[in-house]
Chains A and B, each alone.
Chain A
Amino acid sequence: MPERVKPLLLPLAALLAFEAWMRLAAVQSDSLAPPSAVALALAGALTDGSLLTATRDTLASAFAGLALGGAIGLMLGLALGLSHILDRLMEVTIEAVRPIPSVALLPIALIALGFGYRMEITIVSFACVWPVLIMTRSAVGGIEPRLIEVARVLRLTQLDRIRKIVIPAALPRIFLAFRLAAGIALIVAVTVEIAINPLGLGAGIMTAQQALRPDLMLAYLVWIGVTGFVLNTALMAAQTTLFGRAALIGDGA
């Protein structure tokens, strides 16, 4: 059997079996729908635009949160990576705040900011700070010491040193950090929407569930999966084209 067909067999067989079972046993359910009905619901939601609006809302909050949290994480990571003293002084504070699960901030953001984009962006950015901070710090800390020596010999100012030596040398790993943070941003955005925020894809899937429309609910689920997959693939492709083999350093997955 050709290698390229193998991966497709399992999902196709599962879908067919599921469809056949739903049809033949005439299952009536509030939680399941045959794949054909899901596909129809997906097409319907795509054509009337509701799905695209929801996607836009979710991605807007996810990316805004990623930009904000990523910027904070990058600054802190650069500062801590460059200065050993600062790194050691902030250790306890960072270790104390970092383990707080992002969704635990949900109620605080809710009473401080109310429903809407601002609250969601705040939580997403809190979640994005940490991976960027940690990976930037270790990337900057792991720069070849000779490059720093070169900077010293050339008498570069601190700003030039960061701009011309540190950031280019650490860039592949910083990009990797942002890629991972982008995945987290999407997950947190959808989670916040499902838990409480009446906005975007997460709210859409909850509404479909409460309206007892399993076909639409599963269509949303599939669409959320597709969004996650496309985002991940696009960032992965960007990483390889931008950095080539250098991007693979430290990428465990």
Chain B
Amino acid sequence: MKWSVLGWRLASFAVAAGLITLWQFAADQRLISPVFLPGPDRAWASLMRGFTSGDLLTKLAGTLTHMAYGWLLASIVGVALGAMIGSSKTMRAYVAPTLELLRPLPVSAIIPVAIAALGLSQGMALAVIAFGSLWPMLLGTIHGFAAVEPRLYEVARVLHMSRLAVIFKIALPSAAPDILAGMRLSLTVALILAVVCEMLAGLDGLGQWVLLSARSFRSADLFAGVMLLGVIGYVTALAMDAAESRLLRWQAARR
């Protein structure tokens, strides 16, 4: 059983390798102009060069920092606000419909407003990323809090637990799946907004790197940047998976 899984995995890698070879072939035969499509060899060489000469590393760090600060800020604010709104029925009745109304708003539309208010600065990027990643977590937390099994609240009342204790011991754990799902969505949003903000404001990061590479037609550098962005997306999703399965282990065991 274990071997067949491994076998499929290897075959799957082989298919991916085959596609890369096809890409190499298309680039070598100049089926597509090398201005747009560098071969994987050139993109890889550019990636390695970027790392050894150090420039790409600072850009990578820049993008990761933008993402991390905005996302962490949004996580703290989102969960705190969500807990406040979600744990009170009155608050839910008054506030939640407004939030639902704002949910379909494409968050990137606040970038111009943030630029007008804060200029083309790090602060603007932080505000935009935090605002954008706030929504999934805020709504997830409210939803999670609203969906807590009512009997658990009854138990809390019987035990005379304080409101804080109810939030930390009952509501937060049972809302954890919703909150984590929101956090996962927020990570993607944070990455996209980080890239856009870097492009627009020329902040040090991969967004600015890929745009400058495109403007000067350095397609190998451009593809190296895009590949790195893909890696960021993949690794952050993987980390989220690990965190999720660890934090929700007690629930999986119960099911």
Contacts and interface: CB of A to CB of B under 8 A. Distances in A.
A138 interface: no
Nearest to B95: A10
B97 A111 contact: no
Contacts, number: 166
A198 interface: no
A177 B117 CA distance: 37
A105 B226 contact: yes
B112 A208 contact: yes
Interface in B50-96: 93-96
B93 A6 contact: yes
Nearest to A207: B112
Nearest to A6: B93
B149 to A, nearest CB: 18
Given A108-B214, A191-B196, A224 B94 contact: no
B113 A209 contact: yes
Interface string A204-232: 01101100101001101100110011011
Contacts of A9: 94
B24 interface: no
Contacts of B98: 7, 10-11
Most buried by A among B12, B98, B106, B214: B106
A39 interface: no
B109 A205 contact: yes
A96 B234 CA distance: 8
Contacts of B97: 6-7
Contacts of A209: 112-113, 115-116
B113 A187 contact: no
A100 B214 contact: no
Contact of A93 (B15, B106, B107): B15
Interface residues of A, number: 58
A214 to B, nearest CB: 6
A7 B222 contact: no
Given A10-B95, A31-B116, A111-B219, A190 B13 contact: no
Contact of A218 (B106, B113, B226, B230): B113
A103 interface: yes
A10 B214 contact: no
Nearest to A110: B214
B195 to A, nearest CB: 5
Which interface residue of A91, A101, A217 has the most chain B CB atoms within 10 A? A101
A88 interface: yes
Nearest to B237: A99
Contacts of B8: 88-89, 91
Interface in A16-42: 30-32
Given A7-B94, A194-B112, A194-B196, A186 B106 contact: yes
Contacts of B94: 6-7, 9-10
Given A3-B93, A10-B98, A107-B211, A90 B108 contact: no
B124 to A, nearest CB: 11
Contacts of B206: 104
Given A11-B98, A30-B116, A228-B105, A107 B214 contact: yes
Nearest to A89: B15
A184 to B, nearest CB: 10
A97 to B, nearest CB: 7
A18 B96 CA distance: 20
B226 to A, nearest CB: 5
B199 interface: yes
B225 interface: yes
Nearest to A102: B192
B27 interface: no
Contacts of B231: 99
A248 to B, nearest CB: 15
A196 interface: yes
A21 to B, nearest CB: 15
Contact of A108 (B226, B233, B237): B226
A22 B104 CA distance: 27
A224 B105 contact: yes
B155 interface: no
Contacts of B195: 101, 103-104
Contacts of B93: 3, 6-7
A125 to B, nearest CB: 16
B36 interface: yes
8 residue pairs, one from A and one from B, having the closest CB atoms? A99-B233, A107-B214, A7-B97, A31-B116, A228-B104, A31-B117, A100-B230, A209-B112
Given A11-B98, A111-B214, A221-B110, 7 more contacts: A10-B94, A31-B116, A89-B12, A99-B237, A100-B233, A101-B188, A220-B109
